[in-house]
Structure 1
C-alpha cells in the first residue's frame, strides 16, 4: 500500500485554490458581487498559505545536521505562522473594502452566475476539506491540519456568499457587501486561530492533560517509584518527552536501564512518542527533585 505524504494535501490545496480563486474573481467582477470577490480573494490568500505550508513540509523532511541536531521539523509551524500573517493581511483588506461599500451605499445587484459559482465552490471545497482532514490525521501533520481548518471555513464562506448574493437578488442590496464583511471577519478569525496554535507550539507549549496521562502510565511500570518531572514539546509532527523517574537506590545500572527502556516502549507503543529521554534518580522517602 502506497504511503500517503502530507505534501500531497498541500498540492491538492494549491491546485484547488488556483481554480477556485480565478473562477470567483472573474465571475465576481463580471457579476458585480462584492461577496464573491471577497470569497475569491480569500481563496487567493489560501494559495499563498498553501505554498508556505508546502515549503515548510519539504524543509521539515530534511535530515538532522550540525546546526539542527533535532532536525528541521519546526519548519512546519513556521510555515503555519507565515500562512496566518498572509491570511490576516488579506482579511483586513476585505473588511476595509466591504465597510467602504456600506459607508458609500454604492450597491450593485449581482446576477445569478455568482450564486452558482459560490454553491459549486462550497461543494468542491467540502470534499477537499474531508481529504486533507483525513490525510492530516494519517500523517499527524499539524500544518496540514491547520490547512484543513481553513478549508472548512472556505466552505462556510462560500455558503455565506450564496446567501448574500441571493439576498441582493431579492432587493436586499446591502446583504452582498455585508456578506463580504462577514467573510473578512472569518478570514481574520481563521488566521488568528492558526497563529495562536503555531505560536503555542513554537514556544514549547504542550497539552498538560497528556503529560498527566503519561505520568500516570509511567508510574504504573514495575520498578518506577515516582515520576518527579516530565516535560513535552513538539518538533513538527513528532512528540519529544523528557521524564525523570525515581527507582530503588540499590538497583544495578543494568536493571535501572531496563526500567528506562520499558518507559520508552510504553510511550512509543501506546502514544506514538518516538523520542523519549528518561533520566534515572535514586528514590528516597524524603526525595526532593532538584529541578522542582
Structure 2
C-alpha cells in the first residue's frame, strides 16, 4: 500500500533529526557548562527534549506501518498520536526545569558573568545546521504527505530560531548586561513548555476525532463532481496518524439501480484517494427527496 511505503521513507527524516539533536545537545551542554552560558545550556536541554520528539515520530512511523489485524481492523496509524502525547509530557518537565534554573539565576542579586563568545559561535553553528535539517525534513514531508514529519520539521525550524536568540543573548551579555543570558534561557524554557502544550493539544485533538471543518470543503467538492450524485448530505472526517478517514452520506435518484449506486460509491472512494490521499472512505447512500 502506498501509505506504508511513504511511512518507511519518512523514517530517514526522523533518524536525521535524532542524530543531529544528539550531537548538538551534547555539544551545547558541554560548552555551556564549561563557559558558563545559561542560555546555551537551556538550548542544549531543548535539543535533548527534541530527541524525544524525534524518537516519538520514529516509533510512531514504525508502529503505523504494521498492517491491520483482528484487534486493529483500521491499522495502527494512531500510534503517532500516542507517541507524541507521551513526548509532550516529558518536554513539559524539561521546560519547567529550565524555567526554574533560569529564573533562579535571573533574580539572583549577584552579578552574572558574561559567558565566553565561544558559546555564541556554537549557537550560531547550531542554527545553521538546524535550518538545513528543517529544509530536508520539510521537503520530505511534502513529498510523502506526512503530517508527523512536517510537525517535526517545524520543530527543527523553531530550534534554529531559538539558537539565533541564544546568539543575541550571549552577545548582549558582553555589553555589561549579563542578565540577558539568563533572560534568554528563561524565554527558551517558555518556548519548550509552549511546544509541549502545542504537541499535546494537537495529539489530543486528533485522538478525540477532532477535525477542522474548513478542511472538509475540498472533499465535498470532489464528491459533488462525480456524476449521478444529487447532493452531499453529510461528510465527516478524522485524522488517523498521517492519514485521514472519511464518512460520506450522499443522495441519489430513488430509481437508480443498486449496481449504479455501488459504482458511484466506488468512484467516491477512488476520487478521495487519488485527490486527497484518503485511503478509507465509508459511503452511505440515501434516496434524494422528490419535489411534491
* CA offsets 1:2-31 (integer angstroms, 9 cap, x no match): 977111111101100111011000000000
Contact 1:78 1:198 in 2 (8 A): yes
The Cα of 1:286 is off from its aligned counterpart by: 7.1
Aligned: 1:51 with 2:59: no
The Cα of 1:269 is off from its aligned counterpart by: 2.1
Instruction: Name the structure 2 match of 1:275.
Output: 280
Structure 2 counterpart of 1:129, from 109, 130, 134: 134
Structure 1 counterpart of 2:78, from 51, 74, 77: 74
Q: Which aligned segments of 4 or more residues in structure 1 are displaced greater than 6 angstroms?
A: none
Cα distance in 2 for residues equivalent to 1:12 and 1:186: 22
Instruction: Name the structure 1 match of 2:249.
Output: 244
The Cα of 1:108 is off from its aligned counterpart by: 2.1
Structure 2 counterpart of 1:92, from 82, 91, 96: 96
For structure 1, the 5+ residue unaligned runs are 288-292
CA RMSD of aligned residues (A): 1.7
The Cα of 1:279 is off from its aligned counterpart by: 1.2
* CA offsets 1:23-76 (integer angstroms, 9 cap, x no match): 000000000000000011111111122222211111111111111111111101
What are the equivalent positions in structure 2 for 1:208-247 lying under 5 Å apart? Answer: 208-247=213-252
Cα distance in 1 for residues equivalent to 2:23 and 2:291: 67
Instruction: Name the structure 2 match of 1:290.
Output: none
Contact 1:28 1:37 in 2 (8 A): yes
TM-score by length of 1: 0.93
Structure 1 counterpart of 2:156, from 139, 147, 151: 151
Instruction: Name the structure 1 match of 2:105.
Output: 101
* CA offsets 1:232-255 (integer angstroms, 9 cap, x no match): 012212211110111111111111
Cα distance in 2 for residues equivalent to 1:283 and 1:184: 57
Cα distance in 2 for residues equivalent to 1:53 and 1:270: 26
The Cα of 1:89 is off from its aligned counterpart by: 1.3
How many residue pairs end up in the alignment? Answer: 286
Secondary structure of the 1:104 match is coil
Cα distance in 1 for residues equivalent to 2:69 and 2:213: 31
Aligned: 1:18 with 2:22: yes
Cα distance in 2 for residues equivalent to 1:115 and 1:192: 29
For structure 2, the 5+ residue unaligned runs are none
Cα distance in 2 for residues equivalent to 1:280 and 1:48: 45
Cα distance in 2 for residues equivalent to 1:191 and 1:7: 22
Instruction: Name the structure 1 match of 2:211.
Output: 206
Secondary structure of the 1:245 match is strand
